[in-house]
Amino acid sequence: MKKVKVLIIAAIMIALGNQLNAQSKNDVKNLNYDRGYTFDVELSCSLPTLWEFSTSHGYSFGNGLYVGGGAGFYAEYVPDYKATPTLYTPAFADVKYNITNTLVSPFISLRGGVDFDVCRTGMNINLNPAVGLDISRFFINFGYDTHLGVWRHSKGTNSHYFKIGIGVTL
């Protein structure tokens, strides 16, 4: 399973590698300093048991600020191998600010929204502050992921995770 995940990540990086040297019309080094529509794809892991794939669509204002929204899919695996994973579909708002307009730029971000449980009827509120590093079109982030159950079977349950994610801006 780990080999498959590594191969998928490597294939994405290789397929998009030819885009590394592309510059925008104003010689902008960081894509979040280029005004216009931006689309991100991210694969993340919240330790110890969550794997998430998400996309975010939004607008970059040209000064390092990005505001958008997105959706995704994640699975929560439990240590008991006989139990089936819990599957969620998150919908979220996304705000990101790049500190500098350089090829390698640090950033801070905040995601917040709701997670709909696909397996059972339930819903969580999700909040994910993070810090990270943009490297040309690619990024890596480290954050804190918290979920608060608010409806049906999730009501009253809280979960907290440390999260690491990698992705690409298209």
Mean pLDDT score across all residues of the chain: 81
Per-residue pLDDT band at 119 (split at 50, 70, 90):
confident
Instruction: Quote the tokens at residue 74.
Output: 């994640």
Per-residue pLDDT band at 159 (split at 50, 70, 90):
confident
- Please give the share of the chain, as a percent, with pLDDT higher than 90: 39
Per-residue pLDDT band at 60 (split at 50, 70, 90):
very high
Q: Which of 85-89, 91-95, 107-111, 114-118 has the lowest mean pLDDT?
A: 85-89
Q: How far apart are CA 94 and CA 39, in angstroms?
A: 12
Q: Which residue has the higher pLDDT, 170 or 163?
A: 163
- Write down the pLDDT at residue 132: 94
- Write down the pLDDT at residue 155: 58
Per-residue pLDDT band at 97 (split at 50, 70, 90):
very high
Q: How far apart are CA 151 and CA 65, in angstroms?
A: 33
Q: Is the pLDDT of residue 72 over 90?
A: yes
CA angle in degrees (0–180, nearest 5) for 17-20-21: 135
Q: Is the pLDDT of residue 114 over 90?
A: yes
pLDDT tens track for 15-41: 554 444 444 445 567 777 888 999 999
Determine whether 79 is exposed, middle or buried from the number of CB atoms within 10 Å of its CB (0-12, 13-18, 19+).
Answer: exposed
The pTM assigned to this predicted structure is: 0.76
- Write down the pLDDT at residue 66: 94
Distances (CA, A) of 157 to 29, 61, 94: 43, 37, 24
- Write down the pLDDT at residue 128: 93
Q: How far apart are CA 153 and CA 12, in angstroms?
A: 37
Q: Torsion-angle region of residue 64: left (phi > 0), alpha (psi -120 to 50) or beta?
A: left
- Write down the pLDDT at residue 54: 94
